[in-house]
Each structure stands twice: as C-alpha cells, then as structure tokens.
Amino acid sequence: MKIISYNVNGIRAAFKKDFIGWLSSSQPDVLCLQETKAQKKQVDVEAIEKLGYHHYWFSAQKKGYSGVALICKQKPNHIEFGTGIEQMDFEGRIIRADFDDCSVISMYLPSGTNPARLEYKFEFMDQFRAYLADLQKQIPNLVVCGDYNICHKAIDIHDPVRNKNVSGFLPEERAWMDQLVNQGFVDSFRELNQEPHQYSWWSYRANSRANNKGWRLDYALVSAPLQNKITRAYILSEAHHSDHCPVAVELDLNEI
C-alpha cells in the first residue's frame, strides 16, 4: 500500500498547477490531503474519478479554510468524518478511512500563529492523543498522516537554535511527539532515513525553498504493529503545488 500525505495549501490552486497530472503519475493507493480550503462542490471531482479514485472530503465550517480529504483507489469499508468531538471537528481537521488491513487518517494539526491559536493547538494535541489512544484499542493497525505543524527533532528543522521559541519547535510540542512515539507510533521516515536537511515545508519568504531552509512538518506515523511492514518512506520534494511537499510511506500488508 502506497500512502502519500500532502498539505496542498488550497486544492483549487493546486489544480491550476496540474495536480491531476501529478496524481496520475504518482499513483498512490491512498492520498491524504490537508488544508484543502474548499467544499467538495468547489472541486473538480470528476477529474479525480476519471483516474479511478474514490474521494471523501471533510471541510471546515468556515469557507475557504482548513479542511482535509482522502482519495483512495480501493473503496474503504468505512469513512469516519471527524472525531465526534465538536471542539476538534468544526475546522475540518481529521478524516479516517478503514480498510481490511489498516486504517488511514488524514490529520491537519492547527498552527500556533498567535497566543490564542497556540492555546487551541495545545488543546487539540491533548484531545487528539487521547482520541488515538482509544482508537488504538479498536484498530491496532493505524497510519496517521498529515501536517503536524511540529518539527520533532533538531534534525527536522534548518535552524533549531534560532527557532527554539517558535511555535512548531517548542519544547512542549516536541515532547508531545515523544508521547506519540511512546504511545506506540513510529515516524516512518526516520525509521528508514537518518540524513539531515530533509524537509517538507519552506516559507515563501527569503527564497527559502531554493536554499532548502525548511521544516519537516509532515509525517506518516505508523502504529507499532505495522512497523515491520514499512518498505519505503520518502519525501517528494519535486512536487511544487504548495509551500509543502508530499511525504510517502509504502507498506507490505500481504502477510497480515
């Protein structure tokens, strides 16, 4: 199973940059999208369907804001829109697809751009970790993809010293990522790749992408029972539809 996660920073804008051509050539089994910034009716879903995909959208109540989606070759057994917790769900940040051998989540963690949003981010983090803990009891085989808006380790950010007090690299945020690992999740990319200077987001300012001054904010976390099923994990930095680029994990589920 090839799973790609991509914060597209506006799916309609991505369509104008040949998103469909990219999807056709990438051929993921499951594509997790974040920050779609659109309602389903605003998207050219026929172009997605022509490629043989099923698609599911969970949008924010506020138009043009946030939103997640799942695009799948195989029709899932079940789609869960949100978590059932209103405080988490009104911004359209979590959608889950259940398949025979695993469940895949597309998750868009809030950013802490100001004190009020940082407080909301911390609340969301606590609630999401508790949600996952309950979910792990029901569905042990989980892949939690998305834009976490957190760099876990110093290796995941171009300038850890100057950014140590910036949301996205705060000690509390990094400790929360540690808690997820201790809760039974594996960072699939770091499981197979220990090289530095591997990022998934770059600021639009100061020519950051060209100079590779980035942050690794996007992850495919895999629950421990799937750890030995990881065959590849990589960053698709050549994709240029967004200020993020896609990240991918491939799993061999044949023996489950």
pTM for this entry: 0.97
Which CATH architecture is the domain 2-251 placed in?
Answer: 4-Layer Sandwich (3.60)
Per-residue 3-state assignment (H helix, E strand, C coil) for the chain: CEEEEEECCCHHHHHCCCHHHHHHHHCCCEEEEECCCCCHHHCCHHHHHHCCCEEEEECCCCCCCCCEEEEECCCCCEEEECCCCHHHHCCCCEEEEECCCCEEEEEECCCCCCHHHHHHHHHHHHHHHHHHHHHHHHCCCEEEEEECCCCCCHHHECCCCCCCCCCCCCHHHHHHHHHHHHCCEEEHHHHHCCCCCCCCEECCCCCCCCCCCEECCEEEEEEHHHHHHEEEEEECCCCCCCCECCEEEEECCCCC
Q: pLDDT truncated to tens, each residue of the chain (256 aa)?
A: 999 999 999 999 999 999 999 999 999 999 999 999 999 999 999 999 999 999 999 999 999 999 999 999 999 999 999 999 999 999 999 999 999 999 999 999 999 999 999 999 999 999 999 999 999 999 999 999 999 999 999 999 999 999 999 999 999 999 999 999 999 999 999 999 999 999 999 999 999 999 999 999 999 999 999 999 999 999 999 999 999 999 999 999 986 5
Q: Which residues are catalytic?
A: 147
Domain layout of the chain by residue ranges: 2-251
